[in-house]
């Protein structure tokens, strides 16, 4: 049995309970979600649950994810029945994979997002920037975890490189094999706080989970020898209780992380670029050849890494496209802009053939 506070319950969720409206319902946290079946943990213990049928007819309904708080009818047999999903304090979202445009929430109510990358072949600063943008947007605090230090001879150089893009973000160096950094990792989560391990396959999240739990809870598989890529060992997320308090959400390895709504997150990650932009001649400068562009000047004199500028441009383009796809007004504006550019290209092409 666990007290609600030990599971992360706070005044934020308490305030969502209208007087009398939750009578007879049990506050519970989603510990696992598998094909519309949910394992809940509450003060009354653990129990599998299903959704109340009426929830499927609610247009604003979002299926529960690991970390969510719900109100459930606990007395139902053999499964409890989820009657309401409480609003999340933080949520980690991405654009769902595929051609359909909709938000996919991966985990909810996370206090600290541990962005795990390997110090070996997986190390990628551009991917790190992407994860940081999504994490800042989620409302959780990011911490970069450089894992597999036992296999790396470039630990300090890569820590320095990570610090250059994760400005002001804690950088933790860990190894599940040697035990380096594991206690420091545990120390980030106080009783009642929730962390989530996020990263691509093969970075060692499952091994870190085992080390933090002090037991073999997750299956660990080596990276593929033929290409060095990771193999999925976690097929669905799970909320785990850590010894001494705190919780950790293990998540499946992410093959792709497309932006959904990350305007504030991008601004948080690229403060250096945006600070330079305030010195551009034009307020709406796109940093693509305009005169007196401070961003391009910094790139040319070496004070701004060209790869970082290109990463910023790429994430901004992706964010704008995602916004235009889900917002009819933004989509129409993007189409008008495209047509204007097309007309201008045609005019320039036609003028080239005319005698001067």
| Residue-level pLDDT at 355 | 47
Q: Are residues 145 and 294 in the same domain?
A: no
Q: Is residue 36 part of a domain?
A: yes
CA–CA separation, 39 and 32 (whole Å):
5
CATH of the domain at 73: 2.40.50.140
Q: Range of 287's domain?
A: 270-351
| Residue-level pLDDT at 289 | 86
| Residue-level pLDDT at 331 | 55
Residue pLDDT tens, the chain, 356 long: 689 999 999 999 999 997 666 778 999 999 999 988 999 999 999 999 999 988 888 777 889 999 999 999 998 888 999 999 999 999 999 887 776 777 889 999 999 999 999 998 889 999 999 999 999 999 999 999 999 999 999 999 999 999 999 999 999 999 999 999 999 999 999 999 999 999 988 899 999 999 999 876 555 545 544 444 444 444 468 999 998 889 999 888 777 788 888 899 999 999 999 999 999 999 888 888 889 999 999 999 999 999 999 999 999 999 988 888 776 655 566 556 555 655 665 565 555 455 44
| Residue-level pLDDT at 346 | 59
Q: Are residues 244 and 306 in the same domain?
A: no
The residue out of 85, 111, 131 marking a domain boundary is 85
Q: Is residue 256 part of a domain?
A: no
Q: Is residue 263 part of a domain?
A: no
CA–CA separation, 65 and 74 (whole Å):
19
Six token digits for residue 19: 């007087």
Q: Is residue 34 part of a domain?
A: yes
Q: Are residues 158 and 36 in the same domain?
A: no
For the packed helices 125-138 and 306-326, what is the interaxial angle rounded to 10 degrees? 40
Q: Is residue 166 part of a domain?
A: yes
The residue out of 31, 57, 85 marking a domain boundary is 85
Q: Are residues 17 and 155 in the same domain?
A: no
| Residue-level pLDDT at 246 | 93
Query: Which residue in the block uniquely carries the two structure tokens 């990650």?
Result: 269
Q: Are residues 303 and 214 in the same domain?
A: no
Q: Is residue 179 part of a domain?
A: yes
CA–CA separation, 164 and 186 (whole Å):
25
Q: Are residues 222 and 292 in the same domain?
A: no
Q: Are residues 98 and 244 in the same domain?
A: yes
| Residue-level pLDDT at 80 | 95
List all residues 6 or more positions away from 156 whose beta carbon is below 8 Å from its beta carbon: none
CATH of the domain at 139: 3.40.50.300
List all residues 6 or more positions away from 109 whose beta carbon is below 8 Å from its beta carbon: 8, 29, 67, 68, 69, 88, 89, 90, 91, 194
Q: Are residues 95 and 161 in the same domain?
A: yes
| Residue-level pLDDT at 108 | 96
Q: Is residue 258 part of a domain?
A: no
Nearest-5° angle of CA 53, CA 55, CA 57? Answer: 90
CA–CA separation, 270 and 284 (whole Å):
17
Q: Is residue 264 part of a domain?
A: no
Q: Are residues 114 and 231 in the same domain?
A: yes
CATH of the domain at 326: 1.10.40.50
CA–CA separation, 81 and 160 (whole Å):
50
Q: Are residues 107 and 230 in the same domain?
A: yes
Domain count, the chain: 3
For the chain, the farthest-separated pair of C-alpha atoms sits apart, in whole angstroms, at: 86
The residue out of 50, 85, 120 marking a domain boundary is 85
CA–CA separation, 89 and 282 (whole Å):
38
| Residue-level pLDDT at 326 | 74
CA–CA separation, 279 and 152 (whole Å):
40
Q: Are residues 106 and 217 in the same domain?
A: yes
Q: Are residues 35 and 108 in the same domain?
A: no
Query: In b/e form, how buried is each residue of 287-297, taking b as 16+ CB within 10 angstroms?
Result: beeeeebbbbe
Nearest-5° angle of CA 266, CA 269, CA 275? Answer: 95
**Pick from 52, 41, 200: which is nearest to 120 by CA?**
200
Six token digits for residue 100: 């359909």
């Amino acid at each position: 049995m666990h007290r609600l506070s030990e599971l992360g319950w706070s005044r934020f969720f308490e305030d969502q309970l209208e007087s009398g409206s939750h009578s007879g319902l049990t506050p519970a946290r989603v510990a696992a979600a598998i094909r519309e079946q949910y394992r809940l943990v509450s003060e009354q213990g653990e129990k599998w649950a299903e959704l109340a049928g009426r929830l499927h007819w609610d247009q604003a309904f979002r299926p529960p994810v690991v970390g969510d708080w719900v109100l459930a009818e606990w007395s139902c047999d053999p499964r409890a029945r989820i009657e309401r999903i409480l609003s999340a304090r933080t949520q980690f979202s991405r654009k769902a994979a595929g051609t359909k445009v909709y938000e996919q929430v991966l985990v909810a109510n996370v206090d600290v997002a541990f962005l795990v990358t390997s110090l070996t072949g997986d190390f990628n600063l551009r991917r790190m920037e992407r994860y940081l943008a999504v994490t800042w947007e989620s409302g959780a605090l990011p911490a970069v975890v450089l894992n597999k230090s036992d296999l790396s001879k470039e630990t300090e150089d890569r820590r320095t490189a990570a610090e250059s893009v994760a400005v002001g973000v804690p950088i933790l160096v860990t190894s599940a094999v040697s035990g380096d950094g594991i206690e420091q990792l545990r120390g980030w989560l106080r009783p009642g706080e929730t962390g989530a391990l996020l990263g691509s396959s093969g970075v060692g999240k499952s091994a870190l989970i085992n080390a933090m739990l002090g037991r073999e809870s997750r299956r660990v598989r080596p990276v593929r020898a033929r290409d060095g890529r990771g193999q999925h060992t976690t097929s669905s997320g799970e909320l785990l209780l850590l010894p001494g308090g705190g919780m950790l959400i293990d998540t499946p390895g992410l093959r792709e992380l497309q932006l959904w709504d990350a305007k504030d997150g991008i601004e948080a990650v690229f403060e250096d670029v945006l600070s330079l932009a305030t010195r551009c001649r034009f307020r709406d400068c796109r940093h693509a050849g305009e005169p007196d562009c401070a961003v391009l000047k910094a790139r040319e004199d070496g004070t701004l890494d060209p790869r970082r500028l290109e990463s910023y441009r790429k994430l901004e383009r992706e964010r704008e496209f995602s916004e235009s796809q889900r917002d009819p007004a933004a989509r129409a504006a993007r189409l008008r802009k495209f047509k204007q550019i097309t007309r201008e290209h045609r005019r320039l092409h036609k003028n080239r053939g005319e005698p001067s």
